[in-house]
Amino acid sequence: MGFSRSGGTGGERGGAAGMITYLAVVLLGFVAVLLFQARGILGAVLSEPKMRAGDYDGALRRVRWATLGIPNVVALHKEGLILILAGRPAEAEPCFRKALGMVRSDSRYPRERLHASLGSALLDLGRFDEAEQCFHAAIEAGDITGNSQDGLAESRLARGVEAEAALGYATQAIEHWKRRGEEPVPGDYYANQAWALAFLDRSGEARAALEKALRDSASLPAGIADLHWRAGMVLLAMQETAEARQHFQIGCDADPRGKYGRRCAEQPERPA
């Protein structure tokens, strides 16, 4: 009887251990599936510290590592945005196009953000007509942030054409953002408004808009450099070269490895 009881207990223990092992394997598999499904979000989160340091190559490595070479829409969108800020729009374009192709018609993913992001890449590539088509597509898809109107304004400002239209779009961008009743209006919206006003020789209004732009509390290197590059461009349009040079210097120092930092450095009126 003793032997029988001992054998039964051992069997029960073995069975319990086997069940625990099975449950552990199932749990690990479940966690692995969840992590794989969330790989885009994981990559975006892991890349943020590198973004804050202005290390775009490091940010890209983290996004790509998290996706295991099988990027989803979120990962492709994030990768494209990093590439834009790194000044590599030709590489960003296929990321956005691939992501758009992966978004199903019934998906809740904000398709308008992808259209606007693609527009930004095309804008940097100098393909202005295509960029504007993307911004209009974003608006039609439901963009209420003003980001697309801001892109339409920049499309004209970058070429130095249709300043009145650029002012109209920049003003619309600001109004759209204000309707949301959330955070303060992004500084680059006011900066583009100021730039258009400067082209129209409305210096007093341009100054007022630029002051609003410079109140932006941008913390990322790219955001700081972006804002000061735009400020410099506004001041150049107003023929305030010495003051523009100061802003370009700030932009260079803030994000030397990024798009806007390099734009500041490439200005003819750049710091010595």
pLDDT single digits (tens) 16-33: 666 666 555 555 444 434
- Spatial distance between the Cα atoms of 121 and 126, rounded to a whole number of angstroms: 9
- Spatial distance between the Cα atoms of 34 and 53, rounded to a whole number of angstroms: 29
pTM of the entire structure?
A: 0.84
CB 248 within 8 A of CB 272: no
Q: What is the DSSP string of 47-65?
A: HHHHHHTT-HHHHHHHHHH
CB 184 within 8 A of CB 169: no
pLDDT at 12: 60
Instruction: Calculate the average pLDDT of the chain.
Output: 87
Please state which CATH number belongs to domain 16-143: 1.25.40.10
Asked if pLDDT for residue 1 goes beyond 60, the answer is no
Q: What is the CA radius of gyration of the chain?
A: 25
Q: Report CA-CA distances (Å) from 88 to 3, 56, 203, 255.
A: 75, 10, 34, 15
- Spatial distance between the Cα atoms of 222 and 186, rounded to a whole number of angstroms: 13
Top pLDDT among 241 and 44 is at: 241
Q: What is the pLDDT of residues 133-167, one digit of tens each?
A: 999 999 999 999 999 999 999 999 999 999 999 99
| Beta-carbon count within 10 A of 205 CB | 15
**Domain range list for the chain:** 16-143
Top pLDDT among 127 and 21 is at: 127
Tokens of 175: 């109004």
pLDDT at 107: 81
Exposure letters 169-201 (e unless 16+ CB within 10 A, then b): bbbbbbebbeeeeeeebbbbbbbbbbbbbbbee
Q: What is the pLDDT of residues 66-117, one digit of tens each?
A: 888 788 899 999 999 999 999 999 999 999 999 999 998 778 889 999 999 9
Three-state DSSP state, 118: helix
pLDDT band for position 35 (50/70/90)? very low
pLDDT at 104: 83
Considering the chain, what percentage of its residues have pLDDT values greater than 70? 84
**Closest by Cα among 230, 196, 197, 201 to 216:** 230
Residue with tokens 């980001």: 147
**Closest by Cα among 118, 106, 43 to 74:** 43
Top pLDDT among 173 and 183 is at: 173
DSSP H or E run through 177: helix 163-180
Tokens of 167: 């002012």
